[in-house]
Chains A and B, each alone.
Chain A
Amino acid sequence: MIVYTLFVVSLIVFAITQILPADAAVMMLGENATPEALDALRQTMGLDAPIWQQYATWLWHVVQGDLGTSLRTGQPVGPAMFEALGRSLLLALLSIGLMLVLAIPLGIIAAIRRGKIADMVVSLISYAGVALPEFVTATIAVLVFADWMKWLPPTGYVPLTEDFFGGIAHLVLPVCVISIILIAHVSRMVRSELVDVLHTDYIRAARLKGLSRGHVLRRHALRNALLPTITIVALDVGYLLGGVIVVEEIFAIPGIGRQLIVAIQARDLPAIQAGVLIMAATYSIVNFIADILYAWLDKRIQYD
């Protein structure tokens, strides 16, 4: 299924880059190149071949692990993109980690204290989180914590291998900004699922067997309430990939989002193709893992 999805994505990506008003030959030789020189270059690059043939060649190279050469730098696209992907994944994983640590307890508290103050506070926070786009929260965060308080560096990226604590300090703000929306989203989801589950017959039956509230919550309710949350988290990875682009741009982190923006601005076709393909692959792999996890936890579902 993944292979199939990626094949379709590769088609779409290739088609879109064909429509883009960019001519690779012009990009490389500049606006003032002679038509003869352009033609010669097109021929050597295979750009005069029919589109399906170009696609087949490109796909063949991709399958072999060669994502092409950047028109901008003349370097192979693959290694640069994967290095950038590594930084983005670090950012994304930390954000998801922070989200899981905070969103699930918040959702549980809101559900079991339904209608009480705690529930309303959680609801208010999550409404605010959903309502504010990340460039607003990012700006406010930088303004408050970097500019006024001077607790944290405003932008930039330091590899953790070079300076662990410096690297972490650079990551705190972006991770927080990304996870705010995720926390808002997931905690609301956990809350509503858990409220539904707590009203089911089997929860009542478990309580009437003499099991305590806490035991019923842990053993009977949470598993059923968190199952749909897995799907939501996996779908949120889609948002995460989009959010990462904005946040990386604001905090000047050289991740895959930033690479992609640079590639688009420079009309660097191989880089765009590689970047989008890598992002799509990440998304489908994450969702595939989520499906497997779901089936493993909920034995009623079987995949063939």
Chain B
Amino acid sequence: MSNTENRPVLSPVLAIENYSLDYETANGPFHALKNIDLAINRGEILGLVGESGSGKTSLAWSIMRYLPKNAREPGGKILLGGDNLLEKSEREMQTFRGRRISMVFQDPSTSLNPTLSLGTQLAEVLVRHRGLTRQQAWKEGEERLAHVGLRTPAQMMHRMPHEASGGEKQRVVIASAFACNPECIIFDEPTTALDVITSRQILDLFVELQAETGVASLYISHDLALVARTAGRVAVIKRGDIVEQGTVREIFTNPQQEYTRELIAAVPDPAHRLVKDDVVDTDKPLVKVENVSVHFGRKSFLAALTGRKTDRVTGNNAISLSVNPGEILGIVGESGSGKSTLAKAMTGLNRFEGKIWFDGREIRNLGDMDNAYRKDVQIIFQHPDASLNPRQKIFEILSRPLKLFGDGSDLEKQVGDMLEQVRLPRTHASRYPHQLSGGEKQRVAIARAFASKPKLVICDEITSALDVSVQASVVQLLLELQKASGTAYLFITHDLNLIRQIAHRIAVMYRGDLIEVVKADEIDSPDRADYTRRLIEAVPRAAAQYQ
């Protein structure tokens, strides 16, 4: 009876004690995790919330003992059912991974091998850890797939990853994580890569399986609202430090740390509207989109020769909507619903059929989009990394539109003013994009869009690559700019809570069709279209339920 004496029944399944992790870099050690203390009991879900770079994924790799070569561990313990994983050899860990502790990853389309069937990838876990033969494993795999709610498990086993949808693939990944009834499962943002309704279904499945098996779960996410819906306790991590831990209710109702308060405040809450509903429906809208359709698909040379018909994919199907001057029109929908396709058509990046009326002018095709149109209609893209030229300084990036659309005089002063307008120091003009943070880069992209004093700015998922707190400040900036300039926004997003805060009207899209356009404060009324109701129901609104 030494150190295992009288172990209480509720000894944690996973206990991390005073654990630290450094990465050796050219500039000396980088402290990724500092004196982490966490414990997860059987049947418990612990949410781990933090911004990107806070060390939450590093912690997952530490637990799985899958660290890069430059990782150093100055001290601490990671105990799985009493076994200190830091003392285990790679060979021992191989018998633990997948059997005693497993993991569900962010993106099912990259975490499954594209050249092996889903069944093979599920069955190999069973063969490896449960000693089944291939036939037994295959049969058991079918049962497992049925258990995670796949309707045709036998067929699904034979499918290749590209033949299954994102939700189906994530179900297979979850099935393999649960396959050997592990003691602990790490979920690393398992729904971020999925669209709203699918992620809701996956979340429901997770909660159900978790309750059924009682597996201790570590749920990693940057989305506080999401974690609040699933987890019992939450740990908030900031730059490698656990700054606060407690039950969900404690964290939301009585946060101890300033950082936690900021995180909670940054979660969009649809009940808290950020714009006034002062835009009147005029009969002279700024933009009127009339029956705009976009088709993709190119005739192959051979098909053109033989006159064979090629299948065209419809990106937008006869969309009609309008934006009033100074209005924020939100467009929401799942991935693939045609939101961005419409934005691209309106900015001349896609061919389209139909008509666009802009400020009384008729635009029938790309040829009609002259400099005057482009000056008035600007677009901001999702990833500032991809939309800012990495080889140009901010000054060059911002002076381009000034030269093209403005008078081009005294560029130094104008660029400086633009930077101040988006709350960046004037000195940033001499920097390169990679020297700025993600939020700062997106501010530069916003400044560039506003350089030509446009009448309409199309924001294509501009906050989805940003952390919640950064998103809040970027949105704040956009609203201030809008108030000052009276610019209309077409705000494309999949974040329903955010758009309900800032839009005047919301357009709902589904598979290329426009379902309906409704006033933002009326989107949750019961007489909305079926699809809109499903969307609203799928979105977690945890922040509100505690406030």
A210/B125 in contact, CB under 8 A: yes
Contact with A along B89-116 (1 / 0, CB 8 A): 0000011111100110101001111111
**B105: chain A residues within 8 A (beta carbon):** 201, 205
**A208: chain B residues within 8 A (beta carbon):** 64, 66, 97-98, 102-103
Binds B, one of A9-17, A88-96, A143-151, A217-225: A217-225
B162/A300 in contact, CB under 8 A: yes
B128/A211 in contact, CB under 8 A: yes
Contact with B along A247-273 (1 / 0, CB 8 A): 000000000000000000000000000
A202/B110 in contact, CB under 8 A: yes
Q: With A202-B113, A224-B115 in contact, do A210 and B95 touch (Cβ < 8 Å)? A: yes
Q: Is B124 an interface residue (CB 8 A)?
A: yes
From 335 to 371 in chain B, residues with beta carbon under 8 angstroms from any chain A beta carbon are none
B113/A206 in contact, CB under 8 A: yes
B97/A209 in contact, CB under 8 A: yes
Tell me the bound Cα distance from A209 to B174 in angstroms.
12
**Chain B residue at minimal CB-CB distance from A300:** B162
Contact with A along B160-191 (1 / 0, CB 8 A): 10100000000001001000000000000000
A202/B128 in contact, CB under 8 A: no
**B113: chain A residues within 8 A (beta carbon):** 202-203, 206, 220, 224
Q: Is A48 an interface residue (CB 8 A)?
A: no
Q: Is A227 an interface residue (CB 8 A)?
A: yes
**B273: chain A residues within 8 A (beta carbon):** none
**A40: chain B residues within 8 A (beta carbon):** none
Q: Is B239 an interface residue (CB 8 A)?
A: no
CB distance from A191 to the nearest CB of B (A): 19
Contact with B along A222-239 (1 / 0, CB 8 A): 011001000000000000
Contact of B96 among A205, A210, A223, A299 (CB under 8 A): A210
A210/B111 in contact, CB under 8 A: no
Q: Is B129 an interface residue (CB 8 A)?
A: yes
A202/B114 in contact, CB under 8 A: yes
B110/A210 in contact, CB under 8 A: no
Q: Is A298 an interface residue (CB 8 A)?
A: yes
A227/B115 in contact, CB under 8 A: yes
CB distance from B120 to the nearest CB of A (A): 8
Q: With A201-B110, A204-B66, A210-B129 in contact, do A298 and B115 touch (Cβ < 8 Å)? A: yes
A299/B115 in contact, CB under 8 A: yes
CB distance from B71 to the nearest CB of A (A): 15
CB distance from A228 to the nearest CB of B (A): 12
Contact of B116 among A204, A210, A219 (CB under 8 A): A219
**Chain B residue at minimal CB-CB distance from A221:** B113
**Chain A residue at minimal CB-CB distance from B120:** A219
CB distance from B337 to the nearest CB of A (A): 24
A210/B128 in contact, CB under 8 A: yes
CB distance from B165 to the nearest CB of A (A): 15
CB distance from A99 to the nearest CB of B (A): 23
**Chain B residue at minimal CB-CB distance from A206:** B113
CB distance from A162 to the nearest CB of B (A): 46
Contact with B along A172-210 (1 / 0, CB 8 A): 000000000000000000000000000011111111111
**B302: chain A residues within 8 A (beta carbon):** 1
A210/B114 in contact, CB under 8 A: no
Q: Is A297 an interface residue (CB 8 A)?
A: yes
**A211: chain B residues within 8 A (beta carbon):** 94, 98, 124, 128
Which of B99, B113, B125, B162 counts the most chain A CB atoms within 10 A?
B113
A220/B116 in contact, CB under 8 A: yes
B97/A210 in contact, CB under 8 A: yes
Tell me the bound Cα distance from A207 to B176 in angstroms.
13
B160/A209 in contact, CB under 8 A: no
**B160: chain A residues within 8 A (beta carbon):** 299-300
**B112: chain A residues within 8 A (beta carbon):** 202, 205
Tell me the bound Cα distance from A85 to B253 in angstroms.
83
From 18 to 72 in chain A, residues with beta carbon under 8 angstroms from any chain B beta carbon are none
From 122 to 172 in chain B, residues with beta carbon under 8 angstroms from any chain A beta carbon are 124-125, 128-129, 160, 162
| A204-B66, A211-B124, A211-B128 given; 18 more Cβ-contact pairs under 8 Å | A1-B302, A201-B111, A202-B111, A202-B114, A205-B105, A206-B113, A207-B66, A209-B98, A209-B102, A209-B124, A209-B128, A210-B97, A210-B98, A210-B125, A210-B129, A224-B113, A224-B115, A300-B114
Which 3 residue pairs of A and B lie closest in terms of their CB atoms, listed nearest first? Answer: A210-B98, A210-B97, A201-B110
